[in-house]
């Protein structure tokens, strides 16, 4: 019922030239049959990425956006700017944005509302750190993130990405059982908030995803896709997208 979604978050990597080269090398091998494939480069590379994928089924997303249309927000980019650039998806509330740039559930909520209003598909990130997991606070923390980040929102276009902070870029991956346990919990919380749309909302897992663990992760009932970090920069991403 829910179409699989494989998304790559490049973070602060690749110049415009490197972006063009990446797509020249990678696109011929990517098979989008039966699943959505989204790549999120830096702002400066969005135009090159959109042009490179124009005649393909690969979609382009941004890594962040502001909730205002315009104004005195130095260094920010609006949803309208992203739409004009040809962007279709946007990552919101990534743990690195929350940790390094003091993003809150409240600001994430404003961004999600603005993204949906602007017909951008938001990929909303939630997840606990190692200390919270070890103290048994995972479910309470993730519930709070979802409830506050999605307050007043009930839309089947939503995508929620569960990214345990302790597994991002560490080489440590949550086991498929750990990932499914939290994703199933997220589905339940969405059922309370979004009711009839909860079974339509896609839930992704992110955290050291690679070609070796993608099949096992995707076999989980409540995992509809993955948000890939470092591996999306390399040829391994084709193997992840084309997993069987």
Number of H helices, E strands in the chain: 10, 8
CATH of residue 26: 3.20.20.70
Q: Which of 66, 94, 96, 180 is catalytic?
A: 94
pLDDT, residue 98, reads 96
pLDDT, residue 139, reads 98
pLDDT tens for each residue of the chain, 244 residues long: 799 999 999 999 999 999 999 999 999 999 888 999 999 999 999 999 999 999 999 999 999 999 999 999 999 999 999 999 999 999 999 999 999 999 999 999 999 999 999 999 999 999 999 999 999 999 999 999 999 999 999 999 999 999 999 988 777 778 999 999 999 999 999 999 888 899 999 999 999 899 999 999 999 999 999 999 999 999 889 999 999 8
User: On the CB side of 214, how many CA atoms lie within 13 Å of its CA?
Assistant: 23
Q: Which of 103, 128, 163, 180 is catalytic?
A: 163
DSSP symbols for 39-97: EE--GGGHHHHHHHTTTSSEEEEES--BSSSSSS-TT--BHHHHHHHT--EEEES-HHH
CA dihedral 209, 170, 220, 95 (to 10 degrees): -90
Residue 114: closest CA among 44, 58, 155, 65: 65
Model pTM greater than 0.85? yes
Q: Name every residue whose Cβ is closer than 8 Å to that of residue 80 and which is 6 or more positions away in sequence.
A: 69, 70, 118
What is the total count of domains within the chain?
Answer: 1
Range of the domain at 171: 4-241
Nearest-5° angle of CA 212, CA 236, CA 90?
105
Whether 94 is a known active-site residue: answer: yes
What is the spatial distance between Cα 136 and Cα 133, in angstroms, rounded to a whole number?
Answer: 5
pLDDT, residue 33, reads 87
Q: Give the three-state DSSP class for 185.
A: helix
């Amino acid at each position: 019922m829910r179409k699989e979604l494989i998304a790559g978050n490049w973070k602060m990597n690749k110049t415009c030239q490197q972006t063009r080269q990446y797509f020249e090398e990678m696109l011929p091998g990517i098979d989008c049959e039966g699943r959505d494939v989204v790549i999120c480069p830096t702002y400066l590379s969005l135009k090159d990425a959109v042009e490179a994928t124009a005649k393909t089924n690969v979609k382009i997303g941004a890594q962040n956006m502001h909730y205002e249309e315009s104004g005195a927000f130095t260094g920010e980019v609006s949803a309208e700017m992203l739409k004009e650039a040809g962007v279709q998806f946007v990552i919101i509330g990534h743990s690195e944005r929350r940790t390094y740039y003091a993003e809150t559930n409240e600001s994430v909520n404003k961004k999600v509302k603005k993204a949906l209003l602007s017909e951008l598909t938001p990929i909303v990130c939630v997840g606990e750190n190692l200390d919270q997991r070890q103290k048994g606070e995972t479910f309470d923390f993730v519930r709070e993130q979802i409830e506050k980040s999605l307050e007043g929102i009930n839309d089947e276009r939503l995508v929620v990405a569960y990214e345990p902070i302790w597994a991002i870029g560490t080489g440590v991956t949550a086991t498929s059982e750990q990932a499914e346990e939290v994703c199933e919990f997220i589905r339940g919380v969405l059922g309370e908030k979004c009711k009839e749309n909860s079974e339509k909302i896609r839930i992704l897992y992110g955290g050291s995803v690679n070609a070796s663990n993608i099949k096992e992760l995707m076999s989980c009932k409540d995992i509809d896709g993955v948000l890939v970090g470092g591996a999306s920069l390399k040829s391994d991403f084709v193997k992840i997208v084309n997993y069987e």
